[in-house]
Structure 1
Amino acid sequence: MKNLFAFLSLFALSYCAFSQEKVQDSTKVETLDEVLVKAVRVNATSPITHSNVTKKQIEKRNLGQDIPVLLNYLPSVVTTSDAGAGVGYTGIRVRGINAQSTNVTINGIPYNDAESLGTFWVNLGDFASSVESLQLQRGVGTSTNGSGAFGASVNVLTDAISNQAKAEISNAFGSFNTRKHTVKFSTGKLFSDTERSRSVEIAGRLSQINSDGYIDRAETDLKSYFLQASYIDDNTLIKAITFGGKEVTYQAWNGIDAETLETNRTFNSAGIYTDANGDTQFYDNEVDNYNQDHYQLHWNQRYNNNWSTNIGLNYTYGRGYFEQYKEDEDFLDYNLDEIVIGGETINTTDLIRRRWLDNDFYVLNMSANYKNNALDLTFGTSVSHYDGDHFGEIIWAQYTSNSTLRGRYYEGNGLKNDFSTFAKATYRVNDKVSLYGDLQLRLVNYKTTGLTSDRIPFNVDENYSFFNPKAGITYRLNSNNSIYFSYARANREPNRDDFENNADVKPEQLNDFELGWRHNTKTFKINTNIYYMLYNEQLVLTGQIDNVGNPIRTNSGKSSRLGLEIDAAIAISSKFSIQPNITLSSNKNKETIASIDGVLTNLGRTNISFSPELVAANALVFQPKKNLQLSLLSKYVGEQFMVNTDDKASKLDSYFVNDFNVTYEVKPKSIFKSIVLSGLVNNIFNKEYVSNGADYGGGYIYYYPQATTNFLIGATLKF
């Protein structure tokens, strides 16, 4: 495996270099594992609206579906799946804001694609099996690394060090020929030096997930791995981590029209063509094929009761293509010359093309933390460099003209440099009041050269300077109640697709106000939050997608989101609990000007696309025995528009879906430490619903139907 030797060598050198005398420190407020994400996370009393998800919570439904689907029942979250069943390409929106505006970090390292700003979980199949914990911050949140958060940030911490040796084998099977196979291991702490509390641990995972998908031919083949080597003592943690995956996914991003939705809701037009006999066929390799490998090195050091530091290094290598069969393509679009056969001039051809991405991404994170009884101060910097090649190949053509095998008919390059520095602090004034402040400076340079996939010159050279201040206050009413208020500003640059679709695209700015109340007792917890998000030039979804399935966005001038979020956990008894949440919101463009029947018309205030006014979820959890849990999970998403003009034809209907989850653990007396049996029945009432859509203009509205009743069952054997 590429760079594996360097990875192991780097670990060995790090082990030797930092095997130093420990600092005598018996006060351990947080584990060194947690310091990996301290710079991008907030604690329970911070004036930042957030939800925490633990490994134990993830495991109950981790049967092969992607991370966005596993987060579906968190407040203000709406998810969707191209293949209809939660495996393959999945999407997540928080407070109505798309994935391009959601910041994702893994161990503090930015995961969003630097150019598209999107997050493609499909590249990391079964990554949920290597997650120790996850925090979803809604709104701007705290300063984070990489592109700014405009609707949410997802901060992932990968597996913590295990004290004991262990292994597990996990298998799951279900509808649409879905199957998941996972093998995990940990050596536990090796070569332990009890006098100096030194030890080494090696852990890893291999996974494969396959599914035929609910939608026709929406097959998915995901292979992934995770490997970490760790050195730890009382005050030092060094982790060398590599993880990645390879995905081959049949394209399912076209959607279907209203008539097909009624008559054949699983139809997939991707790959369709007409053969020499005039019969309809489907190309069998109309796939997305992509590899992504990540290499991370983290060094956390605690110096005394007050000071600790973190250094993180990352290299990500991504490469792959999507392949398409195209009919009657114009020679000029591929830089081909006309040919003459038998006196007939030929200037079109059937062909098979591949559009490639080949990119490298480097990151350096550094942060330091000072903490005493009153002050918790973190400051640091992040530097990243992205270099991405875009090019297209013709791998077959009916008429080859002057093309050559694997000859490139377009080439382009994108370079992006991102520098940010921040300082944030929480100061406890007294037992009642704590203050929060956060300042970030971010500098971005983005430059492109060459041609787009449509062979149009594409030259961007933009520099952005963003200052993002944040402040808040938390007031503790008593031991069970607190209120908080925060203000945060965020600025965010356009992505590559924004520049391709509009040369005059502007960066977007958000002023986010949050007012919340938290109540916490042993049997009743409730979080209530009112947010007001005021935008300038928000890049909103137009409802359209480009020819590779990416959503098209446009600046919307002045816009706002006003909402109320409530989530709770209520213990009715020792065996039965209820966990509801609800979001009520108003999401408006201040002024929308659109072409109606060829005439520019001012439509005034309109709804922001893909922003339902009501999103609610609930979990009814029954635990008759300690080792048995049954959960009824319910999700309601209100109606939403696919466009910003309030066009009724583009409205997605509301839907109410219920899932049933059961887990049962057996602890044998020999061989296995534990056997965990789990089952998930999705959409138990067989609801036919649509979670996403696209408006191609001219009345062409397309929908993405989701699966009717389907199931997954699994067993995990723990040694």
Structure 2
Amino acid sequence: MKNFFLSGVALLALPLSSWAQGPVSGSVVDARTRVVLPGATILLDGAPASSAADANGVFSLPSVPAGSHELRITFIGYQALVRRVEGQPAAQQLTLGLQPSGVLTGEALVTASRANERTATAYTNLSKQDLAQRNFGQDLPYLLDQTPSVVVNSDAGAGVGYTDIRIRGTSNTGINMTINGVPLNDAESHGSFLVNLPDLASSINSLQVQRGVGTSQNGGAAFGASINISTLDVRREAYAETQNTYGSFNTWRNNVQFGTGLLGGHFMVDGRLSRVASDGYMNRGSSDLKSYYFSAGYQAKNTLLKFITFSGREKTYQAWNGVPEPAITGNRALLQNYIDNGELSEADAARVLQEGRRYSYYTYDNQTDNYQQNHYQLHLSQGLGQDWNIGAALHLTRGFGYYENYRANRRFSDYNLANVIIGGDTITRTNLVDRKWLDNYFYGGTFALNYQPRDNDKLQATIGGAWNRFDNDHYGEVIWAQYASNGNIRHRYYFNDATKTDYNAYARATWQVLPKLGVYGDVQVRHITYNINGIEDDQNDVTTRARYTFFNPKAGATYALAEGQQLYASFAVGQREPVRADFTDRPAGDQTAKAERLNDFEGGYRLNMPNANLLGPRTALRLEANYFYMHYRNQLVATGQLNDVGTALRTNVARSYRTGLELTGSASANDKISLSSTITVSRNRILGYRDVTYDADYNPVVAEARTSTISYSPSVVSAHTLEGQPLKGLRVALLYKTVSRQYLDNSANYGRRIMPYQVMDFRVRYAIHPTFVKEIELGLLVNNVLNRKYVANGYTYSYLGASGGLDTFNWYFPQATRNVLASVGVKF
């Protein structure tokens, strides 16, 4: 009877155990350095068990059936790790260390520029999956909106077309951007115009945002941050997929992507075609954007050779003029002031009242920006014995395009045209259409030699450098005029060419002095030669000769308090030359622009607990507190004014600083719910600032020196994301963003400000896995759920008005009210 009873219990237990399924989670790290490996692939019994490890190297398998299973973890450049796991009801947490392999991935240049936990700097990693979650076709800055200290805006108001990003109050002219270690910033303006590379995010496999000076980079110096982009992923399996989005303002995003995987274990081909189009929130704020990405490579154990080309072509209706303040406030007295001072005609004033905050200054049907940018990169990664490898790249960027503008009542003399005589009348002005052209080549080479010993991780070092040259023709043509005068079709009324040569060399090393103490050192020498010859559109001679040599040292230290806890501190010097507009558009009375210098102090605390168990099993916790003090000499700050193609005018200020605290935290529990938050509290000041106004005779009146706030620098920026998974494959998220008051110029005048704003977005994605395709994902993004009417950017200027007093005119860039984007993605 006893044996029969035991047998019965066993039989009853069999089906229970066979249905027992427990979660398995953990983190994937480098076995030597313990640096996390974001994007590592997780396979359970040979099938994808999750999309990949996240940006912190954390993975989660919600349910592993009872019995013995094979867990396989792969990451490019590392040996695959195979581990047996037993399915059981209780949660299991693992830390999986991968050993580097001899197979190179082309990441040598990227790795050489990236920060890690040994470099004592503030940074944020985003994986391909992180970007894909956020990507509904909006420009890349909007995908970074939830990262620390970031503020974004859009000329057309909806995140498609011309967009901008500021980090710690610094515009994109101070943000170094590289793609696969190759500079992206325009050599003359220092800006990165991502409108020229629409849907780039779909080809990015990893991205790092460094705040402050960061590590040595190729290209222009980082004066607020750097964004390091990699598209060098090697996908071992063949794939094909498409993403399609439609939403408010007739916004479309369509792309197709494909890849062969590794053919014969050595060859690979990847490609993408994309189209993004939108009418824009602003009236006549449309965008028509097209792009492609293509790469082909060969991989062996110690060699990778890869050719990459990508291109973007954009046509955007010019929305950079913004909206006059009374169109937003409805202030009739202020509107009349605009009319009296010639800022608006009676007809435009009537349109302001009709169109309101969506008013567009331009009405000419082809008032457009047309530009194409073609990129070509050839990458080589080569292993040199057991401990050394080298990465090198040759690159060429070809850019060309024009702004087309309707100009009313312009003087013939401004266009090198003769006055027109009809009978006894002399006509000195005409209506016309002009085009301002850019025609340029950017080319050069970069390299990085890395020392990474396999059997001793105490010392790691990199020696690198780059040589780049930029050739750019600037010229204007008249393509139509009401009175043709003595001009021919495409009459050229100005021309100047610019050449810029930039080369740098750097050396960097990390040394683990003691088991808990590591030190970091980095030195860079950079030399620039910049020449301009010719005249600008205002017929002024802009001939310029400038040469700079910069020495930029960096040093830091890290101290491990305990497992997953670290203190760090660093000091870095960054120096940067003025941009083109600082030479060609100097405000009246301004001196020749000077080079900027930044001394950057960073220090903080990190806590990373992928298996915290604070809120139950499979709880991950990550916290970081970072203090910064950025002290500038001769910082070039925005005056609040724009030139005639929307470029911000700037002036040097002798002494200024930014200081603040960045707090970042994230927690997730059971892969069911996660919360991430970041808040930056800062103080951004100019010391001894003297505001300049003008009297009735246009003589400058200089105010007494005082401490003032740097323009476009909010004192508080925060971002919060709450995400849950109520059902398998269904993810729902709320995103909340706050930005405090900003000033349009450096006077800290309350009448020249951007009001604080708060924006909430809602996102949902649902993935299913039918038998006929790998995955179908449906997505919905509701931007500005609370329907707030806010502006995120603007400009200002003042002059003597019709009444003889000083009049101030503010123009703003309103952002879209509640709007929706819906997407369908299919993976074959």
* TM-score, structure 1 as length reference: 0.93
Q: Contact 1:214–1:266 at 8 Å: present in 2 too? A: no
After the TM superposition, which of the residue ranges 339-348 and 578-587 deviates more from structure 2?
339-348
Match of 1:606 in 2: 708
Pairwise mapping of residues 326-405 of structure 1 onto structure 2 (< 5 A)? 326-372=407-453, 373-405=457-489
Q: For residues 572-607 of structure 1, give each alpha carbon's deviation from its aligned partner in whole angstroms, at most 9, with x where no partner exists.
A: 554111100000000000111122453211240000
> Are positions 1:692 and 2:798 aligned together?
no
> Are positions 1:267 and 2:358 aligned together?
yes
- Mapped to 1, the partners of 2:232 and 2:328 lie a distance apart of 42
Match of 2:736 in 1: 634
- From 643, 655, 659, give the equivalent of 2:745: 643
- Mapped to 2, the partners of 1:687 and 1:531 lie a distance apart of 32
Q: Contact 2:118–2:519 at 8 Å: present in 1 too? A: no
> Are positions 1:483 and 2:578 aligned together?
no
Q: For residues 50-73 of structure 1, give each alpha carbon's deviation from its aligned partner in whole angstroms, at most 9, with x where no partner exists.
A: 001111011112111000111011
Match of 1:318 in 2: 399
> Are positions 1:141 and 2:214 aligned together?
yes
- Mapped to 2, the partners of 1:306 and 1:335 lie a distance apart of 64
AA aligned opposite 2:505 = T
Q: Contact 1:213–1:219 at 8 Å: present in 2 too? A: yes
> Are positions 1:704 and 2:771 aligned together?
no
After the TM superposition, which of the residue ranges 256-265 and 327-336 deviates more from structure 2?
256-265
Task: Indicate how the Cα distance of structure 1 residues 159 and 550 shifts in structure 2: closer, same or farther if over 3 A, else same.
Answer: same
> Are positions 1:81 and 2:154 aligned together?
yes
Q: Contact 1:204–1:226 at 8 Å: present in 2 too? A: yes
- Mapped to 1, the partners of 2:461 and 2:359 lie a distance apart of 53
1:30 CA drift (Å): 8.7
After the TM superposition, which of the residue ranges 255-264 and 88-97 deviates more from structure 2?
255-264
Q: Specify the SS of the correspondent of 2:264.
A: strand
Q: Contact 2:445–2:468 at 8 Å: present in 1 too? A: yes
> Are positions 1:109 and 2:200 aligned together?
no
Match of 1:452 in 2: 536
- Mapped to 2, the partners of 1:517 and 1:303 lie a distance apart of 36
1:31 CA drift (Å): 5.5
Match of 2:597 in 1: 509
1:40 CA drift (Å): 1.1
- Mapped to 2, the partners of 1:85 and 1:486 lie a distance apart of 38
> Are positions 1:283 and 2:364 aligned together?
yes
> Are positions 1:96 and 2:169 aligned together?
yes
1:647 CA drift (Å): 0.9
AA aligned opposite 1:389 = D
Q: For residues 666-710 of structure 1, give each alpha carbon's deviation from its aligned partner in whole angstroms, at most 9, with x where no partner exists.
A: 11112x111111111000000000100101223011111000000
AA aligned opposite 1:589 = I
Task: Indicate how the Cα distance of structure 1 residues 557 and 569 shifts in structure 2: closer, same or farther if over 3 A, else same.
Answer: same
Match of 1:412 in 2: 496
Match of 1:298 in 2: 379
Task: Count matched residues.
Answer: 680
Match of 1:623 in 2: 725
1:267 CA drift (Å): 3.4
Q: Specify the SS of the correspondent of 2:113.
A: coil
- Mapped to 2, the partners of 1:268 and 1:427 lie a distance apart of 58
Q: Contact 2:327–2:359 at 8 Å: present in 1 too? A: no
Match of 2:505 in 1: 421
Q: Contact 2:104–2:304 at 8 Å: present in 1 too? A: no
Q: Contact 2:323–2:361 at 8 Å: present in 1 too? A: no
Q: Specify the SS of the correspondent of 1:39.
A: helix
1:406 CA drift (Å): 1.0
- Mapped to 1, the partners of 2:208 and 2:605 lie a distance apart of 19
**% of aligned pairs identical?**
44
Q: For residues 609-652 of structure 1, give each alpha carbon's deviation from its aligned partner in whole angstroms, at most 9, with x where no partner exists.
A: 00000000100011123411111000000001111011111111
- Mapped to 1, the partners of 2:728 and 2:132 lie a distance apart of 16
- Mapped to 2, the partners of 1:347 and 1:381 lie a distance apart of 55
Q: Specify the SS of the correspondent of 2:584.
A: helix
| RMSD (Å), alpha carbons | 1.5
Task: Indicate how the Cα distance of structure 1 residues 309 and 114 shifts in structure 2: closer, same or farther if over 3 A, else same.
Answer: same
AA aligned opposite 1:618 = H
AA aligned opposite 1:368 = L
> Are positions 1:241 and 2:308 aligned together?
yes
- Mapped to 2, the partners of 1:577 and 1:269 lie a distance apart of 41
After the TM superposition, which of the residue ranges 239-248 and 596-605 deviates more from structure 2?
596-605
- Mapped to 2, the partners of 1:400 and 1:105 lie a distance apart of 45
AA aligned opposite 2:222 = A
Q: Contact 1:220–1:247 at 8 Å: present in 2 too? A: yes
Q: For residues 288-312 of structure 1, give each alpha carbon's deviation from its aligned partner in whole angstroms, at most 9, with x where no partner exists.
A: 0001000000000112331000111
Q: Contact 1:298–1:310 at 8 Å: present in 2 too? A: yes
Match of 1:496 in 2: 580
Match of 2:770 in 1: 668
Q: For residues 198-245 of structure 1, give each alpha carbon's deviation from its aligned partner in whole angstroms, at most 9, with x where no partner exists.
A: x10011000001000000010000000000001111211111000011
Pairwise mapping of residues 155-174 of structure 1 onto structure 2 (< 5 A)? 155-174=228-247
Q: Contact 1:362–1:384 at 8 Å: present in 2 too? A: yes
Pairwise mapping of residues 462-477 of structure 1 onto structure 2 (< 5 A)? 462-477=546-561
- Mapped to 1, the partners of 2:310 and 2:627 lie a distance apart of 38
Q: Specify the SS of the correspondent of 2:112.
A: coil
- Mapped to 2, the partners of 1:144 and 1:265 lie a distance apart of 44
- Mapped to 1, the partners of 2:719 and 2:119 lie a distance apart of 24
* TM-score, structure 2 as length reference: 0.81
Match of 1:583 in 2: 680
Match of 2:525 in 1: 441
AA aligned opposite 1:518 = R
Match of 1:196 in 2: none
Q: Specify the SS of the correspondent of 1:354.
A: strand
Which runs of 5 or more residues in structure 2 are unaligned? 1-76, 81-98, 331-354, 611-619, 696-700, 800-807
- Mapped to 2, the partners of 1:214 and 1:661 lie a distance apart of 20
Q: Specify the SS of the correspondent of 1:36.
A: helix
Match of 1:717 in 2: 826
AA aligned opposite 2:603 = L
> Are positions 1:594 and 2:691 aligned together?
yes
- Mapped to 2, the partners of 1:567 and 1:31 lie a distance apart of 33
- Mapped to 1, the partners of 2:358 and 2:565 lie a distance apart of 52
- From 27, 52, 55, give the equivalent of 2:125: 52
After the TM superposition, which of the residue ranges 518-527 and 415-424 deviates more from structure 2?
518-527
Match of 2:25 in 1: none
Q: For residues 148-198 of structure 1, give each alpha carbon's deviation from its aligned partner in whole angstroms, at most 9, with x where no partner exists.
A: 000000000015121111101111000000001101000111133xxxxxx
- Mapped to 2, the partners of 1:717 and 1:488 lie a distance apart of 46
Q: Contact 1:36–1:157 at 8 Å: present in 2 too? A: no
Q: Contact 2:521–2:554 at 8 Å: present in 1 too? A: yes
Q: For residues 23-57 of structure 1, give each alpha carbon's deviation from its aligned partner in whole angstroms, at most 9, with x where no partner exists.
A: x9984289524323012111234201000111101
Q: Contact 1:109–1:363 at 8 Å: present in 2 too? A: no
- Structure whose alpha-carbon radius of gyration is higher: 2
Q: Contact 1:666–1:675 at 8 Å: present in 2 too? A: yes
Q: Contact 1:307–1:369 at 8 Å: present in 2 too? A: yes
Q: Specify the SS of the correspondent of 2:691.
A: strand
1:78 CA drift (Å): 0.3
- Mapped to 1, the partners of 2:318 and 2:578 lie a distance apart of 26
Match of 2:649 in 1: 552
Q: Contact 1:285–1:324 at 8 Å: present in 2 too? A: yes
Match of 2:20 in 1: none
Q: Contact 1:690–1:704 at 8 Å: present in 2 too? A: yes
